[in-house]
Chains A and B, each alone.
Chain A
Amino acid sequence: EAQVTQNPRYLITVTGKKLTVTCSQNMNHEYMSWYRQDPGLGLRQIYYSMNVEVTDKGDVPEGYKVSRKEKRNFPLILESPSPNQTSLYFCASSRGGPYYEQFFGPGTRLTVL
Chain B
Amino acid sequence: AQSVAQPEDQVNVAEGNPLTVKCTYSVSGNPYLFWYVQYPNRGLQFLLKYITGDNLVKGSYGFEAEFNKSQTSFHLKKPSALVSDSALYFCAVRDIMDSNYQLIWGAGTKLIIKP
Encoded as 1 (CB less than 8 Å from any A CB) or 0, chain B from 27 to 49 comes to 00000101010000111111001
In the assembled complex, which residues on chain A have CB atoms less than 8 Å from the CB atom of B44? 43, 90, 92, 102, 104
- What's the tally of chain A residues with a CB closer than 8 Å to chain B? 25
Assess the A42–B49 pair: CB atoms within 8 A: no
A43 to B102, CA, bound (A): 12
In the assembled complex, which residues on chain B have CB atoms less than 8 Å from the CB atom of A98? 32, 94, 96, 98, 101
Categorize the interface residue count of chain B: 20 to 34
| A residues apposed to B, CB below 8 Å | 4, 31, 40-45, 48, 50, 56, 58, 90, 92, 96-99, 101-107
| B residues apposed to A, CB below 8 Å | 9, 32, 34, 36, 41-46, 49, 51, 90, 92, 94, 96, 98, 100-103, 105-108
Interface SS majority for chain B: loop
CB distance from B58 to the nearest CB of A (A): 15
In the assembled complex, which residues on chain A have CB atoms less than 8 Å from the CB atom of B45? 104
CB distance from A74 to the nearest CB of B (A): 14
In the assembled complex, which residues on chain A have CB atoms less than 8 Å from the CB atom of B106? 42
